[in-house]
Structure 1
């Protein structure tokens, strides 16, 4: 014992444990006997207050008991998930996770464009007419005070792409390869050449017809290596293991514990009429969720 406080005792181990909780630069201040007494005095004060709280019956106070139960549950979750989580995630496991989810860490750049399409197959008599109409519409749109709004109006009025016309020609986010598959190399090249949000392209010829594109957004690509994301993967996998261990514990407790829900009582609860009040006095044996 390093101190006797009424009926309480402060052991050397308890004193050392409390001192060890302090940062190293703080612990160094308590090298002398005088300073150690100062630190011990704080523990004595705390013990005196604990004993007084018990004398006043605060250890049976509903709010105190509810707080204690929360701390106990937190400690249970911590100890169970740490012990049941298994061995630390190794390099091979982390690498396998990376390979299975590589699309999360390696992503090509994408653009989101709206298009106005005037259908005129390459070599058809309609091609020259479509080009002239696209040039005229482009000039009208760029003269407008609100290019985006003017483009949207033009799409809904003139575009012949029935799949996107009602959405203002929105093609969604597409990679270069997806854009090539959707409309050809020239369409993809023009789309990715747009730099400023709201920028309008010149008329673009494809096998299908003549297009005008308006840039809505850009997404920068990702090319993260395994070494760059390894620590994040390990942290995620260990977190998933702890969550799984907790779910399994809760399920096992449900399996062996009778749980009955009083639907009629639950139906009487009206959240809108509730106000913040101290927790009610619990009946013996009652538990706080």
Structure 2
């Protein structure tokens, strides 16, 4: 769950329920109060628990408290004006409740049986749809070092060439990246993946143009771009029209097949609920 969703869930408390007591789960010391509504340390901790790593905790805490106060002030003003009795407001509240319950029912269903494709499922899907998976543009796999210290470019290039010529180029490249690259982890991860030439050109036009002219399997090439030096070696090329190997598209297939399985499972759930409602005499559809 994102921090935004956590905040929305927390702030919705003011609109939908009474404030929790200090000794209730999620309670604790009160950190903010608007009338009889209270925001506790437990509420704040729950809202921050799923926040992104690296987020300033002090700033995030202040955001939680301030947004809760703002929301509660408006909620209480709406109640003071009698807006919960307005027909339009009641209708929107009912619609929101139904939508929330619908999502909760689906979430509970998928929690019990997550629609996760197996490796056999993915391989079978790949085999059935391999022709449709043909690449529409050329892809390339690179060893790429962006140098934090361009003055070491000659030394770094020699080290890269030794790694390429060794029996264990990937392992030695990781050592070279940690010695010279300004983003070692990024360089190591990038070298494991295939990237479309169009995406590479979008990242840096000059780099894309130079890489397009390099042959696969050659030595490292130094490409100066502004104050930065890029050391590049093309490991492999996959031309447009090629059916990519399974490993290249596995993650994409897992996402695609997972969505399809989720839709199929949801349809089966709806059909089961429909049959049960009909059998119990609770469903009447013209």
Using structure 1 for the length normalisation, give the TM-score: 0.42
Max radius of gyration: which structure?
1
Using structure 2 for the length normalisation, give the TM-score: 0.42
